[in-house]
Every structure is written in C-alpha cells, then in structure tokens.
Amino acid sequence: MKFLATPLHSKYGVEVQNIQLRNISASSGYNELRCLFEKESLLYFSDQDLDDSAHLALGALFGPREDRSLNPMDRDPAVSRVSNVKQDNTLYGKGEKRLLDLQSNMLWHTDSTFLPVPALANILIGRVIPSSGSSTEFASTRVALKEMPDRLKQRIHNVYFKHNYSHSRRKIDPNLAADEKFTHWGNQIWKAVWKNPVNQQESLYIASHACEVIGMDTRQGLDLIDELLEWCTQSRFVYSHSWQVGDVLIWDERAMLHRGVPWDYTQSRTLSSICVSAQSIDGLDDMRYPPRH
Ligand SMILES: [Fe+2]
C-alpha cells in the first residue's frame, strides 16, 4: 500500500490523501501506517468512514486500548466521546464539571501521563463540529527538544517529572480537581525525555499534569516545567487543526503536546477518541522511575 503524504508542518506531521483507514489491517497497510507514525508523530486523514467498531479495530493495531475505569470490573467497552453533549442531547452549561474538564484540555497537555501506563497514541475523529472554534493545536516536543538552547537542555538531563491528573484540573477549578475521577490515579513519575526505540529520536515528555521535578524544590520545579512548556509551544512548533466531520488525527503521545481551542458552547461538538497504551516495545521501560541500570 503506497501512502500519498503531504506535510502538515514544515518539520513534522503529514496529511495522507489516498487511504481509507477502514481498509487498514495487520496484513495490509499497518506497517506503512506505523512507519509514518514513528517518523512524523502526527497523521491526518480526511473524509474517513470509521464507525466505532472500525475505530476500535484501528486502535487495536497500535496496541491495547487504554482503560481509565476507576474500578477494573467496570471496564467501559465504548469509544470515548470528547463532547459537550449530554446523553439526553442537551448541552452542558457553564460551570458544569464536564465543561470545566473540557476547558482543562485547553491547557497544553499529553494524554494519560497521570496513568500507571501512559499512552502511545490517540486516534481522534471529528463527529459533530461547530461552525467556528474548536480546533485542536499540536506542538512537536521532538522538534522543540532538537532546537532547545543548551542552557535549557542541560536542565532536563536525567530529570524526572511527577504527573498528577488533579494538578491540571486545579488550574481551572479546585472543586473539579477534588473529583475522584482526577484524584484516583495519584502521582506517576516519568523521565523528561522519551527516546523512540525505532528511530532513536528524543522528545520532551511533559504535560499540564506535570506538577514536580523529582529532587527539586516544588516552586523551582514548577518554574522549570512552565519554562519548558513555553519553549515547546512557541508558534513555530505549532500546527493547528480545524476540524471537519470525518477527519481522523492519529498522534504520537510520546512526542506531541496538544490542546483544545474554545468554541461557542451553545453549539454541539463531539469528537470520538481512543487512546492506546504504550508498551515496552514503544520505549516505556526506560521512562520509569527509579531508572534501571
Ligand atoms: Fe487530550
């Protein structure tokens, strides 16, 4: 299968123009897709016809689907909806927890750094798109690390970040941060630099959930995290995606930051999301703390 790919950003990301993702399988097209994912970090496909079961099947090619259920007995078989629409089709209003959670996703972040097993990839599909706003912005932490000044690069050498879900929610609303959905996972510690085992490319592994630098005073650590996030999210490292219904984005959580952009919340917006968990073959073992020698 030959992929016809054109750049999204001058230094990362491609749009693939001649592929219907529903036709990709382990024996047909997945190897090419995975190679492009490792190299480009962000893949865009328009006009796709993926229902939930095809979405799940595509995710399964990348690895095990992430489980965020608070009780292992409650594993949710459904695809996640990133949406301001309630089950009864009315919309969440200002101040409601779901809307505050969506607003927390408008901080630059990497999905799932707060979980005991973080994510390799997110596969996000545009389902219901409002007339304006609601873009998703991406920043390559691989490119940003490559171009980072030495004085900053030296400060992340052998450094580990502590991540906590409620930390990012507290920036939006303290009551939201106290919800069990965000306190349940506690702290996770990950190395600040993720080396891709396929191509040896390194990227900064950071998120709005990063709340501490191990071994550093809390305030100094937060200042360093802010400085690094600011460096990585300069406009020259950013690609902004304006959604159309049927768009599919697949990105490498090891190498990309992303954030949502507000929209008029009196309009519906629904994206379907599957996060795939990272595994040893994705370089996960080298990210753990304490480091293995
Ligand atoms: Fe996200």
Q: What is the pLDDT along the chain (293 residues), one digit of tens a residue?
A: 789 999 999 999 999 999 999 999 999 999 999 999 999 999 999 999 999 999 999 999 999 999 888 877 777 768 999 999 999 999 999 999 999 999 999 999 999 999 999 999 999 999 999 999 999 999 999 999 999 999 999 999 999 999 999 999 999 999 999 999 999 999 999 999 999 999 999 999 999 999 999 999 999 999 999 999 999 999 999 999 999 999 999 999 999 999 999 999 999 999 999 999 999 999 999 999 999 86
In this structure, is residue 144 part of a structural domain? Answer: yes
Q: How many domains does the chain have?
A: 1
Give CA–CA dist 74/32, Å, rounded.
35
Q: How far is the CA of 49 from the centre of ligand 1 (A)?
A: 22
Q: How far is the CA of 86 from the centre of ligand 1 (A)?
A: 19
Q: How far is the CA of 104 from the centre of ligand 1 (A)?
A: 9
Give CA–CA dist 65/253, Å, rounded.
14
Boundaries of domain holding 101: 5-287
Q: How far is the CA of 176 from the centre of ligand 1 (A)?
A: 17
Give CA–CA dist 198/73, Å, rounded.
35
In this structure, is residue 205 part of a structural domain? Answer: yes
Q: How far is the CA of 111 from the centre of ligand 1 (A)?
A: 5
Residue type at 180? E
In this structure, is residue 72 part of a structural domain? Answer: yes
**DSSP 3-state assignment of 274?**
strand
Q: How far is the CA of 290 from the centre of ligand 1 (A)?
A: 27
| CATH number of the domain enclosing 29 | 3.60.130.10
In this structure, is residue 220 part of a structural domain? Answer: yes
Give CA–CA dist 98/253, Å, rounded.
23
Q: How far is the CA of 125 from the centre of ligand 1 (A)?
A: 13
Q: What angle do CA 149, 151, 153 make, to 5 degrees?
A: 65
Q: How far is the CA of 105 from the centre of ligand 1 (A)?
A: 6
Q: How far is the CA of 1 from the centre of ligand 1 (A)?
A: 30
Q: How far is the CA of 71 from the centre of ligand 1 (A)?
A: 22
In this structure, is residue 132 part of a structural domain? Answer: yes
Output the pLDDT for position 232: 98
Say if CB 154 and CB 272 are below 8 A apart: no
In this structure, is residue 57 part of a structural domain? Answer: yes
Say if CB 71 and CB 285 are below 8 A apart: no
Q: How far is the CA of 293 from the centre of ligand 1 (A)?
A: 32
Q: Give the long-range contacts of residues 36-41, CB within 8 A, separation 24 or more.
A: 36/3, 36/5, 37/62, 37/121, 37/250, 37/252, 38/196, 38/198, 38/199, 38/252, 39/199, 40/5, 40/12, 40/13, 40/14, 41/12, 41/13, 41/140, 41/142, 41/203, 41/251, 41/252, 41/255, 41/256
Q: How far is the CA of 109 from the centre of ligand 1 (A)?
A: 6
In this structure, is residue 293 part of a structural domain? Answer: no
Neighbours of 135 (CB within 10 A): 16
Q: How far is the CA of 235 from the centre of ligand 1 (A)?
A: 19
Q: How far is the CA of 92 from the centre of ligand 1 (A)?
A: 19
In this structure, is residue 292 part of a structural domain? Answer: no
